[in-house]
Amino acid sequence: MSSYPIINKMVPTFYFIGVTTGKSSINKVFPLWMEVLGRPEVVLEGIDHKIHDEPEAYRATVAQIKHDPNSLGALVTTHKLDIFTAAEDMFDHFDPYAQVTREMSSISKRNGRLEGHAKDPITAGLSLDHIIGDSYFGNTGGHILCLGAGGSGLATLLHLINKANKVDRPDKFIAVNRSPGRLDHMRDMANKYETDIQIEYVVNSDPRKNDELMAQLPEGSIVINATGMGKDTPGSPVTDEGQFPKNGIAWEFNYRGELDFMHQALRQVESRNLRVEDGWVYFVHGWSQVVGQVLDIEITPELFKRLDETAVSTRS
């Protein structure tokens, strides 16, 4: 029994918990994916919470999923930490990443149990693997400069720490963040593992300092824009004068918006022999992993390819 009002949904419903869910590309993609997955009866419904909403509001959302049989589960953005904190006791199971990070991006049900998963280390990892393949760091000796140490920067670091082969781990991971709190959190998480990756934590929001950090990177290094600048906020974390690493990779985590960082990098493709990637693959991995979790469907590489092709067909 729930102490919150529960709506008995007439059709199987997959929730998208965010802030401005109506604006996301997933609204176009989702019905097409359900056709591909043979579940055309499942509908997507957005639930918008204000940032740092009241705990009771988060608990009401979780109760709806927990107690209504036709509410299948949810993908969570923005509120991953807050939902965990507000509703931890309502869940029967958390995966190890959710336990370590105390956040969840997926809510699902299995055999009457309510489960929370932190999929970001998996999806950030699948996206990075897609971009660099095997043995990248062994072959190049490159480092990672991660501008922004929020959820996605942390997820990328955890993925690398958990790589079994030395050739798939960089010697150095430099995390830069505007406020020290996120770096402290990253340090706490990283300290829960034994790793040979040398992790540097830099408090900074001055793009010229980031240019200096870029200039010190060895060839083949990867520079990530995980600050949200160029989409969530204007600008770029580096200046137009910043030099990307030779033979390296610039990875912008977003795929829509002004994408200033990506355009700066694109101007150096030839002069620095630079590869430039956006966040599209990350978007598709992020959603497909949670959809697979909620609908209990294994997302094989073949299925991922079909979902990606379907999603690409909606890109304007």
Q: Is residue 231 near ligand NAP by the rule CB under 6 A?
A: yes
Least Cβ distance, residue 270 to ligand NAP (angstroms): 26
Q: Which residues, in sequence order, are CB contacts of 19 under 8 Å at separation 6+?
A: 48, 49, 50, 51, 77, 78
94 contributes a contact to ligand NAP by CB under 6 A:
no
CB nearest ligand NAP: which residue?
150
286 belongs to the binding site for ligand NAP (CB under 6 A): yes
- The nearest distance, CB 234 to ligand NAP, in angstroms, is 10
CA separation for the pair 32, 20 (Å, rounded) = 21
When binding is defined by CB under 6 A, the residue of 253, 261, 291, 294 that contacts ligand NAP is 253
Stretch that binds ligand NAP, among 110-118, 161-169, 177-185, 239-247 (CB under 6 A): 177-185
Q: Which of 14, 16, 255, 261 touches ligand NAP by CB under 6 A? A: 255
How far is 316 from 314, CA to CA, in rounded Å?
6
Single out the segment in contact with ligand NAP by CB under 6 A; choices: 17-25, 38-46, 58-66, 228-236.
228-236
User: Which 292-311 positions form the footprint of ligand NAP (CB under 6 A)?
Assistant: none
Site for ligand NAP in 199-218 (CB under 6 A): 205
Q: How many residues bind ligand NAP (CB under 6 A)?
A: 27
User: DSSP secondary structure string, the chain?
Assistant: --SS-----SS-EEEEEESSGGGSTHHHHHHHHHHHTT-TT-EEEEEE--TT--HHHHHHHHHHHHH-TTEEEEEE-S-HHHHHHHHGGG-SEE-HHHHHH---SEEEEETTEEEEE--HHHHHHHHHHHHH-TTHHHHH---EEEE--SHHHHHHHHHHHT-SSGGGS-SEEEEEESSHHHHHHHHHHHTTS---SEEEEEE---HHHHHHHHHTSPTT-EEEE-S-BTTTBSS-SS-TT--PPTT-EEEES-SSS--HHHHHHHTTTTTTT-EEE-SHHHHHHHHHHHHHHHHT----HHHHHHHHHHHHTT--
Backbone dihedral angles phi then psi of residue 256, each to the nearest 5 degrees: -140, 160
Q: Does 121 bind ligand NAP (CB under 6 A)?
A: no
Nearer to ligand NAP, 253 or 304 (CB): 253
Return the residue of 67, 178, 187, 263 that touches ligand NAP, per CB under 6 A: 178
In the bound state with ligand NAP, the residue whose beta carbon lies nearer, of 108 and 177, is 177
Contact residues for 282 (Cβ-Cβ < 8 A; gap 6+): 123, 124, 127, 152, 253, 255
Stretch that binds ligand NAP, among 36-44, 61-69, 167-175, 222-230 (CB under 6 A): 222-230
Q: Does 153 bind ligand NAP (CB under 6 A)?
A: yes
18 binds ligand NAP (CB under 6 A): no
Among the candidate windows 10-18, 90-98, 135-143, 229-237, which touches ligand NAP by CB under 6 A?
229-237
**Shortest distance, position 93 Cβ to ligand NAP, whole Å:** 24
Per CB under 6 A, does 179 bind ligand NAP?
A: yes
Which residue, 86 or 290, is less far from ligand NAP as judged by CB?
290
Binding site for ligand NAP (CB under 6 A): 147-153, 176-179, 182, 205, 226-229, 231-232, 237, 253-255, 279, 282-283, 286
